[in-house]
Amino acid sequence: MRRARRRIVLTTAAIITLLITVVGGVAYTVMTHAQDDQVRREVRYGAAHGDLARPPACLWLYGPGAAVMPNAPAGFPVYADLDRVRRGGAPVERTVRRAGGVYLVRTQLRDDGDVVQAVLDLRSQLADRSHLWFALSVAELVGLAAAGATGLVLGRRAVAPLAEALVRQRRFVADASHELRAPITRAHTRAQVLARRASADGLPTAHREGLALLVTSLGRLGEVLDDLLSSAALTAGQTWRAVRRVDLVALARSAAAEEAERVRERGLTVRVDGPAHPLWVDGVASALRRAVGELLANAIAHTPPGGRIEVALSRSGTTVVLAVTDTGPGFDSGEAERLFRRFHRGGGGRYGLGLALLREVVTSHGGTVAATGRPGQGARFTLRLPQSTSVPAAGTEPVGEGTAIGAAVAPVPAVAAPDPPLRTWRAWRVPVSLSGRPRPVGGPGRPGRSRR
């Protein structure tokens, strides 16, 4: 809303300034043209018919028998022009600067055969032009002030209804998501318990599959609530709270460890390649974990069985770089930017909010995320975050909300996994609710929804 108001103010100021400039330019042009015509008529009439003994004010005449006036400017007449007219007969008219003044000088041959030179002082005309420039400058400044005030008033009145509508919309999304979260959490947990009991009691396969589908559906519903609330909060421009130093290497390994079950189920190999020392960034660990987890889940979902996913971490100047590369089907280069649009539909179907929210989270942390890929040659998502400018104190543990797996290079082993525990809320953890009360954001569900 603030940006919209600023745009209105700037647009209004630009329009009013342009109008004043155009009107002032036209007025100045018309006035100077009229002045030029007037002074030319005066000097030509004086040179042709003026009385040499009693010339008009601000006009001096030089010719045979003319007395030198006591107020005549120094440096006149211009003898070179007199000689030229005597030789050629054609009149000579030009502007001459003498003794700090500007004069229009016309020398011509009269009907009686005398050569007369008329000198007109342009001081008053130039003063009028200076006054006009000063008036136009004052009008421009007044116009800018008026434009700013008008823009502020128009901006507030124009944006106020839209701002109120957006606030109501975000409040509704936040309240609805908050009220629906608790019952969905209970239903999701209960469905997981029933699915466990069905498997333990040896119920028919159709019953177990139905319960599994119910668990998945409830999990995705919880993720939709998470995404809606997170999007509303991020769009509202709220700032992150609890910003800390986060070791992106430990966070990436921890996120890969959480995906171990899905990796084993699909027969994939995940390799986390990073330095032995931490790569610190400033941010919210839970939000960055969700962003990295989204990249991993996206790669897992689109890598065929037996494929390979590499997570590479490095430092480039003052930037920490995390790149996730897979051996999936890839995508057209023209789709790269559209992958991050909300609910974009492409060749792979409907993408949802995951990658869009990922970009919003990364952008809110001062970073960037980009995608590259080619059909049949896999995809690569590159996340860049500013390196932390503060040095962690001695003994500070990396913030990663999980246990790192392996060493600097850590493939996930493809071995049988035990029964998974009950799934709990995974959240973006938006800093504060739209109603103003601190509130964690979360929802049930299996991570790794398809984005491509």
Which DSSP string do the residues of 4-28 spell out, in sequence order?
HHHHHHHHHHHHHHHHHHHHHHHHH
Torsions phi, psi of 408, nearest 5? -60, -35
Q: What is the pLDDT of residue 420?
A: 40
Q: Tell me the H-state helices in 342-415.
A: 354-364
pTM, entire model:
0.45
Name which of 322, 320, 293 is nearest 310 in CA terms.
322
Taking the CB of residue 26, how many other CB atoms lie within 10 A of it?
10
pLDDT for 278 equals 92
**pLDDT of 273:** 92
Per-residue pLDDT in tens (0 to 9) along the chain, 452 residues: 667 777 777 787 788 778 888 888 888 888 889 888 988 999 999 888 888 888 877 788 898 877 777 788 888 889 899 999 999 889 999 999 887 889 999 999 988 888 998 999 888 888 888 888 888 888 878 877 877 777 777 767 766 776 777 777 767 766 766 677 778 888 888 888 888 888 888 888 888 888 888 887 887 677 666 656 665 555 555 544 557 889 999 999 988 888 888 898 889 999 999 999 999 998 877 778 888 888 898 889 889 999 999 999 999 989 999 999 999 888 877 777 777 776 555 444 434 456 777 888 888 888 998 888 888 888 899 999 999 877 554 344 444 333 333 323 333 333 233 334 434 333 333 333 333 333 333 333 333 344 45
Strand partners, 102: 97
CA distance 305 to 307: 5
Q: Is 235 helix (H, G, I), strand (E, B) or coil?
A: helix
DSSP class per residue in 104-161 = EEEEEE-TTS-EEEEEEE-HHHHHHHHHHHHHHHHHHHHHHHHHHHHHHHHHHHHHHH
Sign, CA torsion 261/262/268/271? negative
CB atoms closer than 10 angstroms to residue 288: 26
- What is the pLDDT at residue 298? 84
Spatial CA neighbour of 12 closest among 202, 189, 176, 156: 156
**What is each CA distance from 227 to 174, 444, 449, in whole angstroms?**
11, 12, 12
